[in-house]
Amino acid sequence: MTHQPRLLPWAAAEGKPCYLITDDEGGPVSRLADATESIQLGMGSRLLAHARDMLPGAPDGELRYPAARLTEALEDSLRIAESRGRRLNHPE
């Protein structure tokens, strides 16, 4: 049975996608990827809550840093969604 490569929740050198090809769903790199995804999604949730709290009264200059971090969190979330979607479309 051929396994679909898993898009990992981090990028390789120069921002290129990083994939895992394995037959072992519970291997160490798979577990690290699962943990990383969980951390990234949790950080994104906390960042979103913080941004919601500060948006109503914040001057424009104070929004650059949260906007940059939210952009990174969105990139992480989209990569995770793509990876999980690929695995759903190719059941074992």
- 25-52: pLDDT as tens digits: 778 998 999 999 999 999 999 888 888 8
Q: Is residue 65 part of a domain?
A: yes
pLDDT at residue 1 tops 50:
no
Domain with 52 in it = 6-89
Tell me if 73 sits within 8 A of 47, measured CB to CB: yes
DSSP-based three-state secondary structure for 13: helix
How many domains in the chain? 1
Q: Is residue 1 part of a domain?
A: no
Q: Is residue 40 part of a domain?
A: yes
pTM attached to this predicted model: 0.74
